[in-house]
Chain A
Amino acid sequence: MSPSVTSAHEAVERRLAARALLANPILSGLHHPDQLALVRRHAPWLRQMYFSRTGYSLIIETGFARLSKAPLDADTAPRPALRTTGQPFTSRTYTCLALLCSALLAPAVGDQVLLSALVEQVRADAASADLRLSESTDEARHLVQALHLLIDWGALHETEGTVVAWGLRADEVLLDVNRPLLPHLLARTLRDIDTPATLLTPKLTSANQDEPRRALRRKLIENPLVRREDLSDAERDVLSRERTELTRVLDEDFGLVLEVRAEGALAYDPDDDVTDLTFPGRSTVAHAALLLTNALIDDLSPKAGQIVTLPVATEEASDDGFPKETPPTRPGALAPWSTVEANVELLIERYGPYFGEGYRTNASLLLNDTVRLLESMSLAEGTETGLLIHPAIARYRPEPQRLPTRAARRMGSTIDDNSSPLWFEEKP
C-alpha cells in the first residue's frame, strides 16, 4: 500500500472519529464500540485538533470518550435532552437527572447499585437541596427518562431487570455503574458559579486572539444555521477574511461543507449523520415542513435584502427616559398565521395519504410540530403576527412547477364540472 493511500485512509478515519464525537459527545464503548475504537486509535490527534479548533476538551478512556462542549449561545435554538418518545425533557426530568448523577457519586455507591437504593439516595439528596420529590408514578416517569439518558450515555447499564419495569411495577433493578465516567458527566465545575444566569452567559475572553476563530468554528460546527446578524464584528471579520481556510478545516476535520450567503453561513452535512434532527428528512413533520416552506416561498415570493421588523414587547417601549430601543430586524419573510394555516390544510388535503395517522386529521398539531421543527433548525421563527422564515430555507425551494393554490383548484374543478354540458354556454 502506498503511503498516500495510507494517509488518505487515516484522514477518513480521523474524520469519522471526529464526527462520531460531534454527534455523541459522551461516546460509550457499550453502544458505539467501532466508533470508540476509531477515536482511541486517533486519540492524540483528536485531542489536539479539538482543542486548537474549538477549545473543547476531550477525555479518552478505555470504555468511553467524552467531548466537553461549550455552552450554546443564547441566540441559537435550544438543544434539549430527548426522552425515549422523542419529546424534550422537562425541567423536572432535568432535576431528576442532576439528582441521579449526584446520587451516583455518593460515597456508598460502588461499581454496582440497586435502583431502589439509588432512588433512596436521590430522595436524600433532594431533601438536602430542599427539593420536593414525591413518590408518585409521575415522578417515577421522570426518573425513568433520566435513567434512560444515563444508560444511553453508558454511565449505567441494566445488569438484571429493566428501568421500565421499575417504573411500572417497582421491580428491583441491578445496575452496573461506569464509575470512571461519572466525574466527567458534568462538562464544567459549577463551584464558582452562583446563579444559572452566570452559567448561561459565556465569559468574553477577548485576550485570546484565536477566540473569534474558535467561536465561529464552534457555531458552525454545532448549529444548523449561523445568522450574520448574530455574529460579532470579529467573527464576521474572520468569516470574510479566512473563508478558504475555514472551508478547508470544516471539510477536512469534520466532513462538513461551508456555505456562506448574504444572510449568514451554514455548514451542511452531506453524509446525513452528524445531527440529532434530520431536515429534510423522512418523518411526516419534516416532510410537511419542507412542503410548507415551499408553499410559503411561493406565496410570499420574497426578494433579496427583504427585512422584517420584529414587534417589540409593548411594556419595554415605555418612555421612562431611556432611548427607545430600535426594534430588532431580521432578513426573511413574514407569513401571516392565516396563510400558514391555510397552507397546512392544503397540504393535508393534497399529501394526507403520505402523512402519519395523527397528523391527517389534526391540522393544528401538524402546524405546531412543523413550526417547532423549523424553529429548532433555526429556519423559521414564530412571532405574534406570523411565521418569519429565514432566507436559508430557500435552499430547499421547489423546482419551478408549483402547487396550484386553492383558488386555482376551485377554478379548475368548476371548469371540470361545467365541461360536459357545454351547450349551456351556447344557449342564447
Chain B
Amino acid sequence: MAVASNGLDQPESSAPEQILVTGTRHDLFRYLTSPLAEEYRALLGLLAGPLLADYSPAEAAALLSERGHHLTEDQVYARCEALERWGNLVRGVRDTHAATIREFHRGRNRFHASKLGGRIYRDTESIMSASEGAREVARELLGATVERLDSILSRLDVLALADAGESVSALDVEALAGDVTVVFSNQRLFNESVSDFYAYLNQVLTRYDLVGSEYQQFKELLLTYIGLITADVTRHTPAIIDRLGQIDGRMNTLLTLLDTQARLIAHDGSAAEQQAGRTAEEWALLTAWYTGSAGRSGPDTLRAAADQALGQLLTNAKRMLAAAGTGLSRRDDLIKLAGWFDKSDMDTAHRLFAAAFGAYSSRHLLLGPDIALTVDGVSTSWWDAAPVDVPVSLRERGDRSARGRTSPVPDPGLAREAVLASARLEIEARRAASAELVAAGDLDGAHVSPAARDLVMDQLGNLMAIHQDLSSTLSFSDTDLGMVLTVVPDPNRVTVISASDGAVSIHGVSLHATPDQETDDARPREAALA
C-alpha cells in the first residue's frame, strides 16, 4: 500500500482512511467525502460549471462569497491546491504582465477543472439533484430509434450510389455520424431511465407499510406503466432488430464512411475518446441487447423485472389484506397506550390492559351442586342456602388427588392362571356330570348328582329353544362334553330324574344320553396337545 510515500503533508489528509489509495483515479472522488465537501463542491461549481472558467483564488473567493460561502483567499488557495493534487483541478497559466510581485503570484495561480474532474462534478451534481421519486422511462426513444436506423439505412443507400460515381459528400457523412450518435445515446438514455425506474420500484415494493391511497397509487403505476413499457418494447423490438440486421450487412461501408471523418489525435499519437457507434463491437452489443444473442435480451429482462414487481405487489396486497390496513394506526395507538401504562398505578394498569387488549380469561368459582337445587330460591341468602359439597381431601389437605402409596400393579399372569384354573375345574365338573348321564343311558328313573341333573335341564332348555315343537325324535350333541342327548316325544311318558336334592319330572318325552363318538376320537388328540 502506498502510504505516506506520496509526500502528502497536509494535516487533514493524515487520517489513515484518507491516504489508503493515492495516485489513482480514486483520488478524484476524495473531495466528496471530505468534511469540507460543501466548500469543495461550491468551488468546483465555479470552476467546472460554465464553459472554460478559469479563476484565480481571489476571484473565486469573491464569487464564492456572493453565493454564501465566505472563504479567505488563502483558504480558497488551499482548497484549490488540494483539488489539484487529487486531479480535479488543473493549474492554468496565462501570460500576464504583472506590475507587482503579489500580482505576479496571483496571476500564476489560476485554476480550471480537469477533464475527469469536470465529469465527476457534473455526474455528482446530477445525482445530488435527482429526486427520490420515480423517473419516467424514455419509451418514446424506441420509436425514435427505429426512425434513426431507417435514416441511417437511406443515407447509406445514397452514399453507396454516390460512391459509385463521384466522391462522398462530407456533409452527408456528417449527418450519418449524427444519426449514429443519436441512436447510441438514445439507447443509453433509455437503458438508464429503465434501470432507474425499476430500481425505484424495487425500493418502494420492499416497504411493508404501503397502505390505502399510497398503495392505490403504486398499483396504478405498476399496472399501467409497466404495461406501457412492455408493450412499447414489444412493438418496436422486431422493427429495430430488422433494421439492425440490414445495417449489419453493410457494416464495413458504414464504419469506413464514419472513419473518413476528421479524427482527433492526441499529441502522443493515441486516438481521443470516440463517440459511441464507431466500432463493430458497439453495434454488435446494441443488436445483442435486442435479440439476446449474448445472453438475456433487454426486452426479456424488462419483462422479467415487470413480473417480479407484480409478484411483489401481490405479496404486499396479501399482507395488507391480512393486516386489514390497521398497521399504522395500531402502532400509534400502542405507543399512546405505552405512555398511559407508564404513568398509571398498578390497579389502573391492570384495568387498562384488560380494556385495551380485552384478552383476559374468564374467572369462575368452582364446585356447585351438579343439579341446581330448587330448595334455595333467589331470595335466599347465601348464608342460609345449602353449602356446596367440598371434597374432604381439598378441605383437609388442599388436595384433590388420591393420597397414599400407589398400590402394587397386579400381575396379569397370575390372574390369567386363576381364570384358566377355574375354567378347567368347571369343564371338568361338567364332563363328570355328562359322564354320569352317559353311564345312566335312559334317564328315566336315573339317580344322578345335582350337577348332572342341572346339566340335563340346561341341555334340554337349549334344545327346546331351537326346536319349539317336539314332533319327532331330536338329538343334541355336545362335542365339548362328549355326550349326545336324545329326546323322543312320547305323550304318555313321564321321565323322572332324581337327585340328592329332589326329583325332576319331565312330561311327554323320554330322554337318553349316549356318548358322542366324534368327541371320543378327538379327545386323545386334545390330551396329547395339552
Contacts and interface: CB of A to CB of B under 8 A. Distances in A.
Given A78-B350, A99-B338, A287-B397, A258 B372 contact: yes
A304 B362 contact: no
Contacts of A351: 396-398
Contact of A196 (B340, B359, B382, B401): B340
A196 B338 contact: no
B346 A91 contact: yes
A102 B359 contact: no
Contacts of A371: none
B362 A22 contact: yes
A377 B364 CA distance: 8
Contacts of B67: none
Contacts of A189: 326, 329-330, 333
Contacts of B399: 282, 287, 354
A187 B359 contact: yes
Nearest to B388: A395
A426 to B, nearest CB: 41
Interface stretch (B14-22, B373-381, B471-479, B500-508): B373-381
B372 to A, nearest CB: 6
A256 B347 CA distance: 28
B364 A200 contact: no
A286 B334 CA distance: 36
B361 A79 contact: yes
Contacts of A120: none
A95 B341 contact: yes
A343 to B, nearest CB: 15
Interface string A363-399: 0000000000000110100000000001111111111
Contacts of A230: none
Interface in A236-278: 240, 243, 247, 256-263, 266-270, 272, 274-278
B408 interface: no
A79 B360 contact: yes
B338 A394 contact: no
A287 B394 contact: yes
Interface string B3-14: 000000000000
A147 to B, nearest CB: 15
B366 A78 contact: no
A153 B352 contact: no
A337 interface: no
Interface string B348-363: 1111111111111111
A427 interface: no
Nearest to A108: B208
A91 B345 contact: yes
A250 B237 CA distance: 73
Question: Which of B208, B319, B342 counts the most A-chain CB atoms under 10 A from its CB?
Answer: B342
A128 B341 CA distance: 15
Contacts of B35: none
A186 B330 CA distance: 8
A131 B326 contact: no
A283 B336 contact: no
A169 interface: no
Interface string B48-68: 000000000000000000000
Nearest to A21: B362
A225 interface: yes
B367 interface: yes
Contacts of B347: 78
B365 interface: yes
A125 B209 contact: no
Contacts of A80: 349-350, 353
A125 B362 contact: no
Nearest to A61: B322
A263 B384 CA distance: 11
Contacts of B329: 189, 191
Contact of B350 (A79, A243, A276, A377): A79
Contact of B385 (A70, A102, A261, A275): A261
Contacts of A26: 359
A179 interface: yes
B264 to A, nearest CB: 53
A225 B362 CA distance: 11
Nearest to A185: B357
Given A191-B329, A240-B378, A262-B381, A99 B334 contact: yes
A68 interface: yes
Contacts of B394: 280-282, 287, 290
A95 B378 contact: no
A234 interface: no
Interface string A287-322: 110110010000000111110000000000000000
Contact of B331 (A90, A105, A395): A105
A130 interface: yes
Nearest to A269: B364
Interface stretch (A1-9, A38-46, A159-167, A216-224): A216-224
Contacts of B334: 98-99, 101-102, 105, 186
B376 A72 contact: no
Contacts of A277: 363
A143 to B, nearest CB: 12
A280 B381 contact: no
Nearest to A98: B338
Contacts of A130: 339
B94 interface: no
Nearest to A81: B353
Given A80-B353, A107-B207, A394-B382, A95 B338 contact: yes
Which 10 pairs from chain A and chain B are nearest by CB?
A287-B398, A187-B358, A304-B381, A71-B355, A102-B334, A107-B209, A79-B360, A78-B350, A391-B382, A98-B338
10 contacts: A89-B353, A102-B334, A200-B348, A200-B351, A222-B363, A223-B363, A225-B365, A261-B380, A278-B366, A306-B383
Given A190-B337, A287-B394, 20 more contacts: A26-B359, A69-B358, A72-B351, A81-B353, A99-B338, A102-B330, A107-B209, A108-B208, A128-B335, A179-B319, A187-B356, A187-B359, A189-B330, A190-B356, A268-B368, A275-B366, A287-B397, A351-B397, A395-B388, A396-B387
Interface of A: 22-26, 67-72, 74, 77-81, 88-92, 94-95, 97-99, 101-102, 105-110, 125-126, 128-131, 153, 179-180, 182-183, 185-191, 196, 199-200, 221-225, 240, 243, 247, 256-263, 266-270, 272, 274-284, 286-288, 290-291, 294, 302-306, 331, 351, 354-355, 376-377, 379, 390-399
